[in-house]
A = this chain, B = another copy of it.
């Protein structure tokens, strides 16, 4: 919850709370447990909530239609503009009852491997919190969030003429060594050109490659 930016936790009739083992497992997120609200029923937890989404492994009798996590999360965020919203999870062993699911306006299921569908509660909570965070970012913001982590280090892009200079240098070497026959050049140069455009070469990289070739030529000359 906390890694994905969610903070408001309601616990319905917990077996034991507070609990030393829970605190230990929460490591840096004990504050969420300390601020958690303990209630006597799901109905009490949902008091004042305008849109609640229940996790369910399958469609329930009389329950709401099942949505995929991505749709459920984006709808939850849209509804959050109108009022309080909630994600509702059952316990690890028995999940939510039909009655509990019917208290919710929507139900969400995580599409799993049909041969092994037993997602544990932690993984399910994590996927739904993650989808809420992703829904909160717009597509461009997700990339922006990834980019804020970027340490700039790359060298500027090589210019057209720098790349051509490299290709000229390589073709000179290829001809000199007999690797390329200028009478029948074939597809060697077009292939290298295509590789370098795809790679969007940087200035540094052009310099390194030319450096290697220059060193080889130097070596050849010395040998002669």
- Chain A residues near B (Cβ < 8 Å): 2-5, 27-29, 57-62, 65-68, 70-71, 109-113, 116-119, 122-123, 126-127, 130, 133-134, 137, 142-143, 145-147, 149-151, 153, 170, 173-174, 176-179, 188, 191-192, 195-196, 198-202, 204-205, 208, 211-213, 215-216, 218-220, 223-224
Contact = CB atoms under 8 A, between A and B. Distances in A.
A173 B216 contact: yes
Given A3-B119, A192-B208, 17 more contacts: A3-B112, A29-B116, A59-B151, A60-B151, A61-B151, A70-B134, A110-B130, A111-B133, A111-B134, A113-B133, A151-B198, A177-B212, A179-B211, A191-B204, A191-B205, A219-B220, A223-B224
A119 B119 CA distance: 18
Nearest to A151: B59
A171 to B, nearest CB: 10
Nearest to A224: B223
- Number of copies of this chain in the oligomer? 2
A29 to B, nearest CB: 7
B146 A67 contact: yes
Contacts of A2: 113, 116
Given A5-B113, A153-B62, A218 B123 contact: no
